[in-house]
Amino acid sequence: MKKFEEKTIRSKPIFNGKIITVQVDEVELPDGKRSKREIVHHPGAVALIALTEENKIVMVEQYRKPLERSLLEIPAGKLETGEEPAVTAERELEEETGYQAGKLEYITSFYTSPGFANEIIHIYLANQLSKIKNPAKTDEDEFVELTELTLEEAVDCMKNKRICDAKTVYALQYLQLLERK
């Protein structure tokens, strides 16, 4: 809504990294006062709810340095410049799991932390999975271990904090809603 709009007076880039950029904006608030906003720009990402024929959820375990621990997560990855989210979804499913989807359905998108970042994650449902003989390799600095869980097992992992990232919790709650219908 326009009544809450903040006008950018000046913007100062402060970091340009491999994945993110960070800037500090000076803004004019709706009441005419000024403030600063630290903003993280991210290219966006996709995440996949990949379901096997046995209705198990394909998950990856990987180490997350900011948390200093491993997490169980749904497969995901960042968008490459100019890449459509569905293409990213197919690529990440193959790289992280060795599967391809016979059916790929867009579910929704959400912003991860709109208070300071513009990162958006597009969630897809991948069904009719088949193993690829020679799948693309994961990124050279990415180490993942594959596991398949029932929805009940995944919910238990949420309860004991093995699953605690927003995209995976969001995906599992989506599956729970589908199950109730």
Same-domain check for residues 24 and 82: no
Point out the residues that are catalytic.
140
Q: How far is CA 154 from the centre of its chain?
A: 17
Average confidence score pLDDT of the chain: 93
Q: pTM of the prediction?
A: 0.91
Q: What is the pLDDT of residue 133?
A: 82
Same-domain check for residues 123 and 160: yes
Return all residues near 89 (Cβ < 8 A) that are at least 6 apart: 46, 48, 104, 122, 124, 126
Q: How many domains is the chain partitioned into structurally?
A: 2
Same-domain check for residues 31 and 52: no
What is the pLDDT confidence band of residue 75, given thresholds at 50, 70 and 90?
Answer: very high
**Is residue 1's pLDDT more than 60?**
no
Same-domain check for residues 81 and 20: no
Same-domain check for residues 14 and 74: no
Q: What is the pLDDT of residue 181?
A: 78
Same-domain check for residues 30 and 59: no
Same-domain check for residues 89 and 149: yes
Q: What range does the domain containing 18 cover?
A: 2-41
Tell me which of 179 and 150 has the higher pLDDT.
Answer: 150
Rg (CA), the chain: 19
Same-domain check for residues 36 and 101: no
State the CATH number of the domain containing residue 117.
3.90.79.10
The predicted-structure confidence for 120-153, as pLDDT tens digits, reads as follows 999 999 999 999 887 666 667 767 789 999 999 9
Same-domain check for residues 100 and 127: yes
